[in-house]
Amino acid sequence: MQSIMMDFDKMSGYDFEELITKLLYHMGFEVEQTSLSGDGGIDIVAYSKKSIFKGKYLVQCKRWSEVVGEPVVRDLYGVVLSQNANKGIVITNSYFSENAKIFAENKNIELIDGDTLTTLIRQYLYKDNDNCESKKHFLNNEHFEIDVYDYYKNQVETDKRNKDKHIELLRFLYSYLVNKNLDIMYEGLIDECLSVIDNIISRFCRRGKESLKLKSVMLNIKSFLHLLLENLDKSFQTVKELNCIFRAHPDTDSDNMRTAFRNYPDSVTAHPDTLSIY
């Protein structure tokens, strides 16, 4: 059976961007999907805090059937210079023209074609390379409601700026955790929930009191999910981020948090006491 992660042609542009976001996250980057027009065509802004590599990286995702040419690379290079980024990265399921490769030489531009992308996915998303083709995925589980999932994903894709659509997708996914569907949970669904949460935080949790409440809820859930995956370091880092919010906004106490939980969809907040981590 062909691995679902390699079947790029069946992905929408949004699904491809989500895959790249997840890949960068597993590579150790902090990832922010751009939500505004006028961003120079940048799909993802990735940040590294590692020594030597510290800084901002601008990423374009091209799920194309044709070869990616020089104009795409040239435009990205202009944005990299204007934003003083460490590097610009074009990631495609296809290939790059010779002119594109020549233009990128000796510049802070990296071109990742379909073959390289497949290798990175095997390395970072599926550690067991020998078995990645046969590894089960929640989308292939007969008990997973794929039609409902496709509906919510399409709703998000067609209206990316609608916060409620993203919340509804998370609500649907999280229902499998609430109902303790262990097989589906550990077939990539928890990782999918984390990806949706990161997307919600980057798009809708930038400013304002209501935004802060939503971010606190998302971080609580995120920490809980990392615990389920036994990612203790990531769970602890999420708790530290929550504590920073509480220190900066002391009025955001536990009572306000419980109110915030009640104000969001039932299946996401079905067990607030279980998700409370402070």
Give the closest residue to 206 by CA, choosing from 84, 36, 15: 36
Annotated domain spans of the chain: 4-131, 138-275
Residue 48: helix, strand or coil by DSSP?
Answer: strand
Classify the C-alpha dihedral 268-201-184-152 as positive or negative. positive
Q: In what order do the strands lie in the sheet with 55-62?
A: 30-33, 44-48, 55-62, 87-92, 109-112
Give dist(CA 76, CA 92) in Å, integer.
14
Highest-confidence range of 50-59, 103-112, 174-183, by mean pLDDT?
Answer: 103-112
DSSP 3-state helix, strand, coil percentages of the chain (rounded to 5)? Answer: 60, 10, 30
- Domain 138-275 of CATH type 1.25.40: yes
Residue 15: helix, strand or coil by DSSP?
Answer: helix
Beta strands in 122-231 (DSSP E): none
Give dist(CA 26, CA 21) in Å, integer.
9
**What's the predicted TM-score (pTM) here?**
0.56
**Nearest 5°: phi and psi at 259?**
-65, -40
Give dist(CA 78, CA 270) in Å, integer.
47
Give dist(CA 41, CA 7) in Å, integer.
24
% of the chain surpassing 90 pLDDT: 33
Phi-psi region of 230 (alpha: psi -120 to 50; beta: other; left: phi over 0): left
What confidence category does residue 161 fall into, taking pLDDT thresholds of 50, 70 and 90? confident
Cβ–Cβ under 8 Å, residues 211 and 240: no
- Domain 4-131 of CATH type 3.40.50.2020: no
Cβ–Cβ under 8 Å, residues 200 and 220: no
pLDDT, tens digit, for every residue of 188-237?
Answer: 888 889 888 988 888 888 778 888 888 888 999 999 998 888 888 888 88
What confidence category does residue 153 fall into, taking pLDDT thresholds of 50, 70 and 90? confident
